[in-house]
A and B are shown apart, each in its own frame.
Chain A
Amino acid sequence: MAKPRDDRAWLLVLPVVALVAFSALIPVMTVVNYSVQDSFGNNEFFWNGTGWFKELLDPSTDLGGRFFDALWRTLLFSALCLLIEIPLGIGVALSMPRQGWGVSASLVVLALPLLIPWNVVGTIWQVFARRDIGLLGAAVNGLGVDYNYAQDPLDAWITVVAMDVWHWTSLVALLCYAGLRSIPDAYYQAARVDGAGAWAVFRAIQLPKMQRVLTIAVLLRFMDSFMIYTEPFVVTGGGPGNATTFLSIDLVKIALGQFDLGKAAAMSIVYNLIVLAVCWVFFATTTRRESEAAR
C-alpha cells in the first residue's frame, strides 16, 4: 500500500529542519565563505576565488602534496578496516549462540567497546601496546620481535588498525547477528532436507539474508573509518613523522593549529564531498534495491 501524499507533513519535520539547519547550514556557509578568501590576520579578509582549491588539488604544491598523502593514507586505512572487520564480524555473528544465557552475555560483551569514549579507546591501546608498561608491547618484544609503535611507521599502522578492529568489529557482528536472527527456522530445515553443507547454507541462505544489514555495516564503517580522528590522535598523534596523519588529523592541524582558515576550509569542503559522493552511491543503490524488492 502506497503512502498517502500530504504536504502538511512538513509541519512535523520543521523542528528537525530548523535545528539541523542552525547547527549545520550556518557552519557550512562559514566554511564556504572562508574557502574563497585569504587573510593576513586581524580579521581582514580579501577575495581569493578558487585559489585554495587549485592549490589543494595540485599535488605539486605543498598543500596539495600534503592533502593527497593524507587522502591515500586515509583510503588505505578505510580499506584495511573494511577488509578485516567485515569478514571477522560475519564470522563472529555466525558463532554467536542463538538462545540461552549466552545470548545476553555475548551481546553485552560485544557492545562494550562501542560505548567507550573514543579517546579512552586510544588510551586503552596506548597503555596496552607500549613496550615498557603494556602487556601487548612487552609480550611481543619478549618474543624477540622489535615492536615500537612510537618509532616504527609499520608498527604504528598495525597498532592503529588493530585498535580499530577491536573497537568496531562488534558493530558489524551485531548488525549481522540481527540479520541472522530474522531467518526463519524453516529455511534451515529445508536446507537439511536437501543435504546442504555449512558452506551452501551460508551462501544460499545466510549471506542473502544479511545483505541489507551488511550494506548498513559497510556504509557506517566506511564513513567512520574515513573520518577517524580521536583514536589515532591519542595513540600516535599522527606520527611517527606523518605516518598515521589521516585527513581529519591534518585538517585539525591546519584549522586549529596553524589557523590557516582558507586552506582548512577548502580542504573541509573537498573532504566532505568525497564522503558524500561515496555515501550517495551507496544510498542510491540500496534504496533502488529496496524499492525493487517492494515491487
Chain B
Amino acid sequence: MSAVAPSSAAAAPAALPSARAPARRDAAARALAPRVVLGLYVMFLLVPIYWLVNMSLKTNLEISSGMTLWPEAPTLDNYRRIFTDASWYSGYINSLKFVVLNTAISLGVALPAAYAFSRYRFLGDKHLFFWLLSNRMAPPAVFALPFFQLYSAVGLFDTPWAVALAHCVFNIPLAVWILEGFMSGVPREIDETAAIDGWSFPAFFVRLFLPLVAGGVGVAAFFCFMFSWVELLLARTLTTVDAKPITATMTRTVSAAGMDWGLLAAAGTLTIVPGAVVIWFVRNHIARGFALGRV
C-alpha cells in the first residue's frame, strides 16, 4: 500500500484519464512518466554531491592516481585534519557566529516592520517597500568596496558584526517580504478583538500574534540563515584573520604541492551538513516558505 498509493496519487494531475485515450497501457505509461522525470532530476542533483563526498574519503594519492567510483581505501584523514587544525575549524565557528547574529538582527527589526506593512497604510509605504526590496536587488559586488571602507572606519572590520550587518542589506528586505505575506493571512479582526479586550500592543504582539505567524517566522529565519550561510563575496571582503568564515578558508587550499583536493572536498562536505539539518527541521513549511507566504 505504502509504495503504490502515493505515486499513483502523485500522477493524478498529469494522468487524468482522457476521453480520447481509452487504452489502459497509455494511462500506465503516463503514470510512470512523472516518476521517471523526478528520478532523473534527483540523480542529476545527487551525483555531483556524491562525487564530492567520495573524494573527501580518498587520499590525494588515490585521487590523482586514477578514477574510482568509490574510495578503495576509505580514510577519514581529511576530516581529522579539519577538526584538529584551529585555522580550519575556527572557520566554521566564525561562519555560524555571523549567521546567527544576522538571523537574530534581521528578524528582530523585520517583525514590527512587517506588521506595519501588513496592517496599515502610511505615508510613502509603497515607495518604502520597493526601496527595501531594491536592496535585495543590489549586486553584492557593488557593495564590496564601500563596505570595506565603512566597516574599517567604524572599527568593525574583521569581526562577525561586520558580516552580520552587511548581510542585513539583503536579508532584512527578504524577511520583511516573507513575514508581510504570512501576517496578511491572519485576519485583522483578531487585532481589533484583542484591543477591545484591553490587551496592550506589545503584549498582544508577543503573546497572541507571534504564535499565529510562528510558521512564517520559522520560514523567514530559514531564509536569513540560508542567504547568510551561502554568501562568500562580502564575508571574504570584510574579514582577514579573526573572523574569517569557512568559505573563505576554503579558497586557500592551494599549497606548494598543488591543490589539496581531498581536504577541499572534506571541507565542502562539512559545509553541506548545517544546511541539510536546517532543511530537515523546516521541511513541512518549505514549499509555502519558498512562495514567500503568498500562496
Question: Which residues of A pack against B, CB within 8 Å?
Answer: 1-10, 12-13, 15-17, 19-20, 22-24, 26-28, 30-31, 88, 91-92, 94-104, 106-120, 123-125, 127-128, 132-136, 138, 166, 169-171, 174-175, 177-182, 188, 191-192, 195-198, 201, 206, 212-213, 216, 223, 226-227, 229-230, 234, 247-249, 251-252, 255-256, 261, 264, 268, 271-272, 275-276, 279-280, 283, 287
B147/A115 in contact, CB under 8 A:
no
Chain A residue with the shortest CB-CB distance to B141:
A248
Chain A residue with the shortest CB-CB distance to B56:
A127
Chain A residue with the shortest CB-CB distance to B122:
A9
A178/B291 in contact, CB under 8 A:
yes
- Cβ of B133 within 8 Å of any chain A Cβ, yes or no, is yes
Chain B residue with the shortest CB-CB distance to A138:
B67
Q: A207 CB to closest chain B CB, in angstroms?
A: 12
- With contacts A17-B128, A95-B10, A107-B286 known, is A124 near B38, CB below 8 A? no
A13/B112 in contact, CB under 8 A:
yes
- With contacts A91-B37, A178-B288 known, is A275 near B47, CB below 8 A? no
Assembled-state Cα–Cα distance A107/B48 (Å): 18
- Cβ of B193 within 8 Å of any chain A Cβ, yes or no, is no
Assembled-state Cα–Cα distance A26/B6 (Å): 54
Partner of A31, one of B142, B275, B290: B142
A sample of 18 more A-B contacts (CB under 8 A), given A120-B268, A230-B232, A255-B145, is A3-B120, A13-B113, A17-B128, A24-B143, A30-B145, A107-B286, A123-B52, A133-B55, A133-B261, A138-B67, A169-B41, A195-B19, A197-B16, A227-B141, A251-B142, A256-B145, A272-B139, A275-B137
Partner of B47, one of A13, A110, A135, A279: A135
Residues on A with C-beta less than 8 A from B112 are 12-13, 15-16
Interface residues on B, range: 35 or more
Assembled-state Cα–Cα distance A6/B122 (Å): 5
Residues on B with C-beta less than 8 A from A13 are 112-113, 116-117, 122, 128
Residues on A with C-beta less than 8 A from B110 are 16
- Cβ of B166 within 8 Å of any chain A Cβ, yes or no, is yes
Q: In the complex, which of the residues B7, B136, B271, B287 has the most CB atoms of chain A within 10 Å of its own CB atom? A: B287
A112/B49 in contact, CB under 8 A:
yes
A166/B45 in contact, CB under 8 A:
yes
Partner of B271, one of A108, A116, A198: A116
Which chain B residues numbered 157 to 190 have a C-beta less than 8 Å away from chain A?
165-166, 168-169, 172-173, 176, 188
Mostly helix, strand, loop or mixed at chain B's interface? Answer: helix
A116/B230 in contact, CB under 8 A:
yes
Interface pick from B76-84, B208-216, B277-285:
B277-285
Q: A114 CB to closest chain B CB, in angstroms?
A: 7
A174/B226 in contact, CB under 8 A:
no
A124/B52 in contact, CB under 8 A:
yes
Q: A-facing mask of B258-295, CB < 8 A → 1, else 0?
A: 00010011001001101110111001101110111011
Residues on B with C-beta less than 8 A from A268 are 139, 141-142
A178/B139 in contact, CB under 8 A:
no
Chain B residue with the shortest CB-CB distance to A182:
B295
B233/A192 in contact, CB under 8 A:
no
Residues on B with C-beta less than 8 A from A192 are 16-17
Assembled-state Cα–Cα distance A127/B251 (Å): 14
Assembled-state Cα–Cα distance A188/B295 (Å): 18
Residues on A with C-beta less than 8 A from B64 are 132-133
Partner of A247, one of B14, B37, B123, B139: B139
Chain A residue with the shortest CB-CB distance to B167:
A23
